[in-house]
Amino acid sequence: MKDISYHILDIVRNSLNAGARMVEIHILEYSQTGQLVLKIKDNGSGMKEEMINKVTDPFFTTSVKKKVGLGLPLLKQNAELTGGRFSIESAVQKGTLVEAVFNLHHIDMIPIGDLALTFRTLIASSPDTDFLYRYRVDDCGFDLDTAEIRMRLEGVSLNTREVLDYVTDAIHANLKALKGWK
Ligand SMILES: Nc1ncnc2c1ncn2[C@@H]1O[C@H](COP(=O)(O)OP(=O)(O)OP(=O)(O)O)[C@@H](O)[C@H]1O
Ligand SMILES: [Mg+2]
């Protein structure tokens, strides 16, 4: 079953394929409206306007290996199934912003999944890319910025067991604190 983490992995992969050096992942929950907003922003090659209109069509892909591109259409579908919405903004040579809004209390809301593992996988597979991970519930939350961690590491690769464990633990600990998870 698809979950939010799976979508993040999928959408960030698009950013990496577009040559992004920096990807921001924002997960913003609002208790008043019961909404979860997922934003993924990159500084990759971007898309032309006519392409933006096509990308939510499941039969559109620029991949030469396959005939369908499902990443964006599936995210759109899962957001809309909860009564939410989906949008893309993009500019050539500047980058892309994908935004999906979910209604958390809708019966078709998908689970959040394992965000710590997703983030770990992304860093391990692209240790030279800068990732900003932001999770907020109303005014509380936390940021994990690999550019900042990289600076503190003074040349040590992010793709080492110790760093990846640190990142996973930090995300788990913060989610626990934020959500009151055991
Ligand atoms: N962040 C992005 N920057 C530039 N182009 C993008 C970005 N995201 C998507 N695209 C373009 O939109 C197309 C469709 O994306 P989508 O994720 O739906 O399918 P896909 O990546 O081609 O295939 P799949 O996700 O199923 O492996 C991509 O092939 C790519 O050309
Ligand atoms: Mg894709």
Distance 117 CA to ligand 1 centre (A): 22
Q: Hey, what domains does the chain have and what are their CATH numbers?
A: 4-179 (3.30.565.10)
pLDDT at 140: 92
With contact defined as beta carbons under 8 Å apart, do 135 and 178 qualify? yes
Beta bridge partners of 95: 91
Question: In 3-state terms, the chain is what percent helix, strand and coil (to 5)?
Answer: 40, 25, 35
pLDDT at 61: 78
Q: In this structure, what token pair is assigned to residue 152? A: 């503190």
User: How far is Cα 96 from Cα 38, in angstroms, rounded to an integer?
Assistant: 14
Pocket-testing residue among 61, 66, 78, 89, ligand 1, by greatest number of atoms within 8 A of Cβ: 61
pLDDT at 178: 87
pTM for the complete prediction?
A: 0.94
- For ligand 1, atom 27, which residue shows the shortest CA distance? 69
pLDDT at 92: 97
Distance 175 CA to ligand 2 centre (A): 27
Find the helix or strand (DSSP H, E) in which 166 lies. Answer: helix 161-179
69-112 per-position pLDDT tens digit: 789 999 999 999 999 999 999 999 999 999 999 999 999 999 99
Pocket flag, ligand 1, residue 44 (CB < 6 Å) = yes
User: How far is Cα 2 from Cα 113, in angstroms, rounded to an integer?
Assistant: 9
CA distances from 42 to 121, 136, 159 (A): 18, 19, 21
- What is the number of the ligand closest to the CA of 74? 1
Closest residue by Cα to residue 171 from 1, 14, 25: 25
pLDDT at 182: 57
Regions of the chain with pLDDT less than 70: 1, 67-68, 181-182
